[in-house]
Amino acid sequence: MIFITPNGSTSTLVTTWILGAVAALLSISMLPVHANDLSDCNASFYGGIYPEFVNTKLSNDTHPLCMDGFAVMYSGVSRTPLWSAEYLTRARLNAAKEIDRDDSFHEESRLPKSIRASVADYSGSGYDRGHLAPNADMATRSQQYDSFSLANIAPQSPRNNRYVWRNIESATRYLTQQYGEVYTVTGVAFTNKKTVQIDGQVLVPSHFFKAVYIPAINEAGVYYAPNDESERIEVISIDELAEKTGIDVLPILDTRTKAQAFGLPLKAGERSALPESYNEAPTWMLFVLAIIDWIMAQLKA
């Protein structure tokens, strides 16, 4: 395994950057034809390379959308996003803490009306309107508004949304504070033989997933949970996710990183799978950040 050590961090980071740059250049010729539609939000993807469909059937009637603060691949078949991608940093999350939640679910006007999900579709369905790119990650009002676009929403089991998913979103933000930056791709899967449909239009995913890549340690893992009331969740690798869903969410990563599932915490504050020596510095950093947050709160009081 490749870890960044105190006496080798610079060379390792440089090597990782060079390999990423080379892979990005090699991948340009293989990008789908609608790649330019996401060119304005390349920053949401590690190396500027966005997810690829291993199962090409998933690409039918897809619509890439560059939102403010994240990117979405919307499916006109399911009337849900297939994935949403974000680049998270400490600065972004600290700014997001200053914005109170303002629910503003709305149709996505950039999509043809014939394939849009509507607010009425979810009314009385028994499912929550589940964010893929979460509101709590959004650092501006504009970003927050875009996060409530129904192009970023999928039908989600209430218990999954309010407990399991809330915990892993918090854990992802914790990892961002711990390591400085994180790339994440959140998505849905339709693996059941018979897919449930609400209001005769919107398909209900069988699973939700959140892939997390931490550049500082070159490690990645995926939260993968059934869309039900069981509160089950597992952590799998990028390769395992591709097998289950037909989507390679981080195609630019090296073979080892994609094949091995990093031990992601299931709740904010839990230690990751790195040895104690690798957690020590980030933990101290979090302690300092907590003090700063407290001081800021006192100044505002």
Kindly report the backbone phi and psi dihedral angles of residue 258, in degrees, each rounded to the nearest multiple of 5, phi listed first.
-75, -30
The pairing of beta strand 202-203 with beta strand 234-236: unpaired
Of 233, 143, 220, give the one whose Cα is nearest residue 185.
220
List all residues 6 or more positions away from 222 whose beta carbon is below 8 Å from its beta carbon: 209, 210, 211, 212, 235, 236, 237, 238, 240, 241, 249, 261, 264
Q: What is the mean pLDDT of residues 125-139?
A: 97
Q: Which residues of 101-117 are buried (b: 16+ CB within 10 A; e: fewer)?
A: eeeebebbeebeeebbb
Q: Which of 34, 63, 106, 131 is catalytic?
A: 131
Say yes or no to pLDDT of 191 above 70.
Answer: yes
Beta-bridge partners for 198: 202
Active site residue 131: yes
Half-sphere exposure of 217 (CA within 13 A, CB side): 24
Say yes or no to pLDDT of 238 above 80.
Answer: yes
What are the tens digits of pLDDT across the range 69-104?
999 999 999 999 999 999 999 999 999 999 999 999
What are the tens digits of pLDDT across the range 111-127?
999 999 999 999 999 99
Q: What is the mean pLDDT of residues 46-67?
A: 96
- Model confidence, pTM: 0.80
Half-sphere exposure of 16 (CA within 13 A, CB side): 19
CA distance 287 to 6: 20
CA distance 291 to 148: 32
